[in-house]
Structure 1
Amino acid sequence: MTAKSLPISQEDPRCVASDSRQLNVQIAQEEVYSFFVEIVKKLPPEDVLREFKGLFIDGLDSEDSDYVPGIYSIFLNDNEQELCNTLKRCCYIIINNWKTNRKDKYIQELVNLFVQENLKIKTNNLPAVKICKSWLENFVNSKDYKELKLFVIKYDESAKGHWANRYTSYLLIDQSVNQNNPREQQEAARRLSKQIKDKFKFELAMYIARSQSACSSTTRYTNPSILGNHVLRLIKTIVLKRGVFSHENIAHIFLKQTQNQSLKEFKINLEKYLFFSEKNQELVDIWRQQFTDTLLLWKTDYNQEIITKELLLRTCNRVIDYLTTENGKEPSSLFILLLNQGNSLTLVIILLKIILICKNSRRHLETRIAHLIRFYEKYPEEECKGIINFIEIFNITFAIHAENVEYNLIKMEEDQSSNPQLNLDGYRVFSQMKVDRQK
């Protein structure tokens, strides 16, 4: 079977009853999906590209007044969105297979089918063909196609082009949780986001190891962040808080102490937990008061409810909203306040504390960061130093506190002080992969 032989009806859909027409669309869509699921497993990528092009692009140059390109005929009754959905899902069926089988270069060719010069469609005055062409052009200019292009941004070249390209993993997470996206897109986005984050964690660990070695050549390691030579000191500052007073231990104690509390009690203690031990108390008090006033007014009808896992998740997600973006479109007032005062590290540590008491909020947090990137990406890089610095510190902090990597600060030089913050240069950071003892 080929794309041209797919049993797609050429009957004018405008002559069919609405329910029957919708059923025909669904049947045709399933036939197309099954077709690509089958051929992407069996045929070489070049043949898959040829079939895809034949189904969705070839034929739009026809000047035959009685001709409507095969698959478009079932969508001509104001079903542009369904055509877009079909096109998207077919793309992600192919991408998932090629990603699994490491055929990434062909994903680039698939995306390029819509932009290559030799595929520009000629203009003619046939009504049906003009509609089909406009739909294809709308797809190329849509958010859907922009999301598709994320799968061909090479991680090693992510620093090139727009500054937001460096943070593709968050934009992919946003795709993966959007229930309006086809499941193949959600799966592909989730997998690629994990690959990018794992690569960053590995490169950070290698950079730390090699940059502290006198015998390592500076050409043999790269800094995966854009923070320059200051990144090592930042890493030491983050790793510094270990042992009994580590963020992990404090989070564990907090969860034990707040068991069986009411939501009202929990909100009061959560505020203390998040802001405890933060420096510069004068500034912290300003953020703290604004935060407290907002949190205490949230879900007052549930104040007497005992905190459960579900209520914990909802509360933590809401706190994340206060600290990032409440509507998913623009930064919250608290986020702007923290960034304007140059307190990115403080904000990141507070967000880390939230995730340490509720790991299931991690995806919500990363989605909110994606929303912030989308808001700021319309501005040039020089105007976005605050948000970029925040994301870089966030990447490093959460890589250091990853489940599968352990970082330790080891004293290398004797000094008179017992406070390592006074002489971080006398310490070295060591990283190692954690062993899964359950295996």
Structure 2
Amino acid sequence: MTAHSLRNIHVNSPLFKVHLQDSDVEVVQERIYNFFVEIVRKHEPEDVLIEFKSLFIDCLCLANPDLIPGIYEVFLKNEQVLHNTFKRCCYILVNNWETNRKYKYIQALVELIASYKSSSIYQKYKIRTPSKNWLDNFIHSQDFQELKLFAYKNENQANSHWVNRYTSYLLAAQAIDKNNSEEQKQAAIKASKQLKDKFKFELAMYIARSQSHTSSHTRYRNPSVLGDDVLRLIKAIIVKKGVFSYSNIANIFIEQTQNQTFKDFKESLTKYLIFSVQQPTFVDTLQQQLSEKLVVWKLEYDDVIINKDLLLRTCNRVIDFLTTENGVSPSPLFVLLLSHGHPLTLVIVLLKIILICKYSRNHLESRLANLIRYYDQYSEAECQCFINFIEIFNITFAIYAENVEYNLIKIEDNEKIHEVEFDPNAYHVFSQLKFW
């Protein structure tokens, strides 16, 4: 079916030609949603884009500036409803094209919307009707900024703003935002996972090639900005194996605390998080401040036996203490711990939280998105401490991913009998992608 015949489906319908009462707006919305759900599944993306443009954009270019344009008449005096309708229609298309890997059309959709602002054909008439400003308002909104994440997530980000390297977290935050439509949440889940998987694959391939004398070092790029230091970092992260691995210690903690009261659990949690941490200053700071915060938190539950709900809520709350408590600016504890110069230690503490409560992962990534938005106002040079933290977080959680296994292989046999310090140069990292 051509774009022209598609337009006949709705343009000639009385539904879009008459002024409707406010009580009918929800009916109109559902018909619009169903229309786009149908055509995006059955027709070529080029035709769908033409249809989208016809419904929402072309009608804004009218010779009579006082006439309420097309579909906008339905939402007369209710800009927010139109805003939400327009946004959801975008994500109906994005979700479908994301699923079918038609990424270039997502970019085309974003550019189509942005072109309204810059194209003189839509601006040459004197605007008198407020609804003609509504699309401009959407383009200047946070919602449009979020939509653009889907369009440009796969582009080469070498010369772009440093925040763009961490799009997966911004998308993850969209996925759990209760104010977003299901289409946006699903699209965000897929896009975020795609970026994370891409990072894990590139990291594994880079490690394998960088340690091989026969492979080209230029074939796989380093996905981090840490340079060759990433190998030393990975070795430091995975050196703990056997009974003292982070996973085993987490399992022991879960088993030993399952019948504790909430009061005792809060105390045990603090001890667990600082267990085996090597930096005394970090340990003292974390223990003192975390204990002070937890001991007075949810006092009414202190005599309750710990359960899954309390575990999740507590882990989420500790994540807040360690990242951002208000969802806007860094928490005092986050700033203090990073100022000590041990970002890896802070990341390990966050990892230990997720190892005892995997369902806190979404909350953690949402908080990281909050921090990324906060530091977005600074240049890359001004927030190197935070960038190093995020890079180390990326690598640490890639190592503990379910579909990649990392191991150390000793390449020197002449180890000194009394050697106690770990020598990363004596080992190679072996990464293996697991498929099932």
Q: TM-score range by the shorter chain?
A: over 0.9
2:312–2:360 Cα contact (<8 Å) kept: yes
Name the residue aligned to 2:349.
Answer: 350
- TM-score between both structures, scaled by the size of structure 1: 0.93
Name the residue aligned to 1:228.
Answer: 227
| 1:432 counterpart SS class | strand
1:235 Cα deviation after fit: 0.4
Name the residue aligned to 1:377.
Answer: 376
| 2:406 counterpart SS class | strand
Moved more, 257-266 or 95-104: 95-104
Name the residue aligned to 1:121.
Answer: 122
Unaligned 5+ segments in structure 2 are 1-5
Please state if 1:112 is matched with 2:111: yes
Query: Structure 1: how far apart are the matches of 2:359 and 2:424?
Result: 34
2:99–2:190 Cα contact (<8 Å) kept: no
The amino acid that maps onto 1:322 is F
Query: Structure 1: how far apart are the matches of 2:343 and 2:50?
Result: 49
Query: Structure 2: how far apart are the matches of 1:373 and 1:206?
Result: 27
Q: List per-residue Cα deviations over 1:158-178 (Å, max 9, x = no partner).
A: 333111100000000111111
1:182 Cα deviation after fit: 1.0
Query: 1:10-409 to 2 correspondence within 5 Å?
Result: 10-12=17-19, 16=21, 21=22, 23-64=23-64, 67-77=67-77, 79-116=78-115, 117-118=118-119, 121-125=122-126, 127-128=128-129, 131-409=130-408
| 2:133 counterpart SS class | helix
1:172–1:190 Cα contact (<8 Å) kept: yes
Query: Structure 1: how far apart are the matches of 2:255 and 2:364?
Result: 23
Q: List per-residue Cα deviations over 1:172-218 (Å, max 9, x = no partner).
A: 01111111111100000011000100111111111111111111121
Query: Structure 1: how far apart are the matches of 2:358 and 2:433?
Result: 20
Q: List per-residue Cα deviations over 1:80-110 (Å, max 9, x = no partner).
A: 1111111111111111111222211111111
The amino acid that maps onto 2:219 is R
1:65–1:126 Cα contact (<8 Å) kept: yes
Query: Structure 2: how far apart are the matches of 1:417 and 1:391?
Result: 37
Distance 1:314 1:418, change over 3 A: farther
1:6–1:32 Cα contact (<8 Å) kept: no
The amino acid that maps onto 1:278 is V
Query: Structure 1: how far apart are the matches of 2:323 and 2:33?
Result: 38
Name the residue aligned to 2:11.
Answer: 4
Name the residue aligned to 2:423.
Answer: 423
2:153–2:167 Cα contact (<8 Å) kept: no
The amino acid that maps onto 1:42 is K
2:91–2:184 Cα contact (<8 Å) kept: yes
Query: Structure 2: how far apart are the matches of 1:318 and 1:247?
Result: 21
1:153 Cα deviation after fit: 1.5
Name the residue aligned to 2:3.
Answer: none
Query: Structure 1: how far apart are the matches of 2:419 and 2:149?
Result: 45
Distance 1:335 1:399, change over 3 A: same
| 2:58 counterpart SS class | coil
1:63 Cα deviation after fit: 2.1
Distance 1:61 1:394, change over 3 A: same
1:412–1:427 Cα contact (<8 Å) kept: yes
Distance 1:95 1:9, change over 3 A: closer
The amino acid that maps onto 1:430 is F
| 2:422 counterpart SS class | helix
1:6 Cα deviation after fit: 4.5
Query: Structure 1: how far apart are the matches of 2:95 and 2:239?
Result: 41
Unaligned 5+ segments in structure 1 are none
| 1:384 counterpart SS class | helix
1:173–1:363 Cα contact (<8 Å) kept: yes
Query: Structure 2: how far apart are the matches of 1:419 and 1:398?
Result: 30
1:329–1:372 Cα contact (<8 Å) kept: yes
Query: Structure 1: how far apart are the matches of 2:169 and 2:205?
Result: 23
1:61 Cα deviation after fit: 1.9
The amino acid that maps onto 1:194 is K
1:8–1:70 Cα contact (<8 Å) kept: no
Q: List per-residue Cα deviations over 1:378-409 (Å, max 9, x = no partner).
A: 11111110111001000000000111211111
- TM-score between both structures, scaled by the size of structure 2: 0.94
Q: List per-residue Cα deviations over 1:118-147 (Å, max 9, x = no partner).
A: 46522444633xx12211110000000000
Query: Structure 2: how far apart are the matches of 1:412 and 1:156?
Result: 38
Q: List per-residue Cα deviations over 1:214-235 (Å, max 9, x = no partner).
A: 1112112211100001110000
The amino acid that maps onto 1:300 is L
2:61–2:121 Cα contact (<8 Å) kept: no
Distance 1:126 1:396, change over 3 A: closer
Query: Structure 1: how far apart are the matches of 2:112 and 2:420?
Result: 57
Query: Structure 2: how far apart are the matches of 1:420 and 1:140?
Result: 59
**Any runs of at least 4 consecutive aligned residues in structure 1 with deviations exceeding 4 A, and if so which?**
9-13, 417-421
1:426 Cα deviation after fit: 0.8
Query: Structure 1: how far apart are the matches of 2:348 and 2:127?
Result: 60
Distance 1:265 1:378, change over 3 A: same
Percent of aligned pairs sharing the same letter: 58
| 1:88 counterpart SS class | helix
Q: How many residues align?
A: 426
2:323–2:334 Cα contact (<8 Å) kept: yes
Query: Structure 2: how far apart are the matches of 1:418 and 1:188?
Result: 55
Query: Structure 2: how far apart are the matches of 1:328 and 1:407?
Result: 34
Q: List per-residue Cα deviations over 1:395-436 (Å, max 9, x = no partner).
A: 000000111211111111022156574321010111113465
Query: Structure 2: how far apart are the matches of 1:421 and 1:216?
Result: 31
